[in-house]
Structure 1
Amino acid sequence: MSITVTVNGVVQQINQQTTLTSLQQQLDLPAVGCVFAINDQIIPKGLWSSQVLNEGDRISLFQAIAGG
């Protein structure tokens, strides 16, 4: 079965039991210098592989930007 999540404003159909790491790999999203938030809550990188996504989750990917 599949579930619906939103990634940076784009609706995606993914398999149930998909982890944040799996989603990152499936969608070829960057992993270095990035932060994921699910439903406006930051998920530490150490939890990406165990964080299972749920129906209706809103996932945001933020990339670190260096500046001065």
Structure 2
Amino acid sequence: MTEITITINQQVQSIKAESNLEQVIDLLSLPQQGCVFAINNQIIPRTKWSATTLSQGDAISLFQAIAGG
């Protein structure tokens, strides 16, 4: 099994090569509700998570919505 290294919120993770964003979110039990994910500073719509294959060195950022008022 080949692995690649990615960064999630500045923490290095090793994952299976050819994993998609949705698989990594599930694997690492990352929150999904009210969250936005960006890969290399490009926001990925939820509808494209399963079609977005990760590559060596990708930097994933997780942003959570915060209510104000």
- When the two structures are superposed, what TM-score results if normalisation uses the length of structure 2? 0.96
Letter in 2 for 1:8: N
* Identical-pair percentage: 54
Residues 1:15 and 2:43 are matched in the alignment: no
Aligned to 2:56: 55
Aligned to 2:31: 30
Aligned length, in residue pairs:
68
Aligned to 2:45: 44
Q: Which runs of 5+ in 1 are unaligned?
A: none
Aligned mates of 1:20, 1:31 — CA distance in 2: 12
Aligned to 1:2: 3
- When the two structures are superposed, what TM-score results if normalisation uses the length of structure 1? 0.98
Aligned mates of 1:21, 1:32 — CA distance in 2: 13
Q: Which runs of 4+ in 1 moved over 6 A?
A: none
**1:18-62 deviations in Å (ceiling 9; x for gaps):** 110000001100111100000000001100011000000000000
Decide which structure has greater helix share: 2
Letter in 2 for 1:34: C
